[in-house]
A = this chain, B = another copy of it.
Amino acid sequence: MSLKEQILKIAKQAKQSSNKLALLSRETKDGVLKDMASNLEENKEAIIQANQKDLRLAKLKKYSQAIIDRLTLNDKRISQMADSLREVANLANPVGEVMRSWTMPNGLLIKKVRVPIGTVGIIYESRPDVTADCIGLCLKSGNSVILKGGSEALNSNLAIFKCLRDALIKHKIPEAAINLISTTDRKALDFLLRMDSFVDLIIPRGGEGLIRKVVKKSRIPVVKHYKGICHVYVDSDADLNMAENICLNAKVQRPGVCNAMESMLVHRDIAIRFLPGMIKKLQESSVEIRGCPVTRKIVKAKIKLATVKDYATEYLDLILSVKVVESLDAAIEHVNKYGTHHSDSIVTDDETSANEFLKRVDSACVYVNASTRFTDGNQFGMGAEIGISTDKIHARGPMALEELCSYKYQIYGSGQIRQ
């Protein structure tokens, strides 16, 4: 069988089994999820051994420390994967929920009912825990899933996948409900992205290069989970103490994630009062500051000059660009120009300014007086998330079980015909 035929077979079988998955009861799905969790814990040793293989290869290939960190599994990480599956089991079943219903004057009762999408393809890179997370969320939302992970994590992914598949088999659910493409041939992805008759949605999770490639090649709808160049704007009417806490949190609490602040904007009227103390605190937390000329003038300490490139960079690190702006308008313009429509916050006590910012900043999540770090399925009360969409089509912001669903209209008549 050629590679293309192999991928076609996987896609076809996944689609077929999605019809059965869509009809599973909550009890069945939750039973499988709990068994998946137990299987992971019972097979920790095998998973860690497989992971060691990947790590040895990664070190041979001289991958960066960041990649090796993301790749590494240990006892604790495997327990976390299992716990995540159990949490998904505890979430409400999104499938079958009547989202809205109404009756037309002719007596037709129309129900808008949540249903699974069908088959979801997930393309990701080094993190093997994504394997369990995505399978859990897709199963609970009644979708079959095709995973294509990075080759650097293949052994780990296969070991995890085996544990999860065994739970499916135990519950007599079609094996083809979950699929892991195990070839390292790069063409496999190209073939998958053309299977629009069998795969309904592609979610790429990873770096900019991966996402661009997927968008370019895919005939299947893609919901992008892009980078986050997030801003906090400290307005002239800000409570400066609150602003300091929020900015510090947004930058340093976990700098390597997409909802961390990468750029701080400060209104010129409070810049002299705010910036010296703020920058000192950030520097005490090892943050490298790159400032606009006004910032550099105000802050006596020696800091680098921020370039246009800085404003357009997602550092994912303890680096921050700082810019003093003329006005609220200038702040909004800067955010819409350099941001990535992810998460942006204004700190202000002025309601009018807050509302302007909320309305005009074109981002998935816009905050008043809170840290951008809250953009997260759990923090929004959705339970686990499959990612954070920076797209405007289908789903925007944290994407969880409901966002892994579509809907259908069920219409109840008593013989109505169209006039």
**Interface, chain A (partner B; CB < 8 A):** 19, 22-23, 102, 104, 108, 110, 117-118, 196, 200-201, 215-216, 219, 221-223, 239, 242, 245-246, 248-250, 253-254, 336, 358-360, 362-371, 373-375, 379-381, 391-394, 396-397, 406-418
Contacts and interface: CB of A to CB of B under 8 A. Distances in A.
A388 to B, nearest CB: 11
A364 B19 contact: no
A262 to B, nearest CB: 16
B394 A394 contact: yes
A373 B410 contact: no
B19 A393 contact: no
B253 A366 contact: no
B245 A412 contact: no
A347 B125 CA distance: 49
Nearest to A223: B393
A117 B393 contact: yes
B417 A371 contact: yes
B196 A215 contact: yes
Given A104-B381, A380-B104, A411-B370, A249 B360 contact: no
Nearest to A370: B413
A381 B110 CA distance: 10
Nearest to A371: B417
B369 A413 contact: yes
A263 to B, nearest CB: 18
B406 A396 contact: yes
A288 B314 CA distance: 63
A363 B115 CA distance: 11
Contacts of A414: 369-370
A19 to B, nearest CB: 7
Contacts of A102: 381
B200 A368 contact: no
A361 to B, nearest CB: 9
Contact of A359 (B23, B391, B406, B418): B23
A102 to B, nearest CB: 7
What DSSP secondary structure best describes chain A's contact surface?
mixed
Given A246-B415, A380-B110, A414-B369, A360 B23 contact: yes
A109 to B, nearest CB: 9
Given A23-B359, A200-B393, A418-B253, A368 B408 contact: no
A415 B369 contact: yes
The 6 closest A-B pairs by CB, nearest first: A370-B413, A249-B417, A373-B418, A392-B406, A221-B393, A394-B394
15 contacts: A102-B381, A108-B374, A117-B392, A215-B219, A216-B219, A221-B221, A366-B409, A367-B413, A369-B414, A369-B415, A370-B414, A371-B418, A375-B409, A393-B394, A397-B409
Contacts of A248: 417
A104 B374 CA distance: 11
A148 B394 CA distance: 23
Given A366-B411, A369-B415, A393-B406, 13 more contacts: A104-B379, A117-B392, A221-B391, A223-B393, A242-B415, A245-B417, A253-B418, A362-B408, A367-B412, A368-B410, A373-B418, A374-B411, A392-B406
Nearest to A397: B409
Contacts of A239: 415
